Amino acid sequence: MCEVPLATFATLKASTQKALIQFLYTDLDLVFTFLGMAKAETGRDADHREVSFKNAQIALRSIQRLKNRIDDPGELQKISDRTNELEAAINAFPVTLNHPPQVPSSRGQNCVADARETRSEREQESTIRAGPNY
């Protein structure tokens, strides 16, 4: 059995924490970009607006799940505050989802996507956003 020296473990944990924190800040910025894109599409492209908004919602859930892995109370508070701002922005967003977004089919035609979260969406969220387990 291979034993890892305590100093090496502490260094690995610190670098992992740093990467997690940077990822969450980057993801928060990305989600605010998704919301900005959705706002910009208001009155123009309803399908693109809905996709951007849904992406923001999915990313918010991911951030909420991952932020609790942060060990530093100060960083956790900063990310929690920014997450709360994001959640408020999403909740205040004027959403009128009259129809599910159009998703390209494998034949290049549009088909109506199911508005409910499907298995493939859950798999995509866990694959893309879950990151490593700490």
Confirm whether 15 is domain-assigned.
yes
Please give the structure tokens belonging to residue 62: 């991911």
Confirm whether 106 is domain-assigned.
yes
Q: CA 10 to CA 126: how far, in whole Å?
A: 27
Give pLDDT, residue 38.
86
Per-residue pLDDT of the chain (134 residues; tens, 9 = 90+): 667 677 788 899 999 999 999 999 999 999 999 898 888 877 788 888 888 888 899 999 999 999 999 999 999 999 999 999 999 999 988 766 554 444 433 333 333 333 334 444 444 454 444 444 44
Q: What is the domain count for the chain? A: 1
CA 111 to chain centre: 25
Confirm whether 52 is domain-assigned.
yes
Predicted TM-score (pTM) of the model is 0.64
Q: Can you give the residue range of the structural domain that contains 83?
A: 6-129
Confirm whether 20 is domain-assigned.
yes
Give pLDDT, residue 97.
55
Confirm whether 115 is domain-assigned.
yes
∠ at Cα 114 (113, 120), nearest 5°? 90
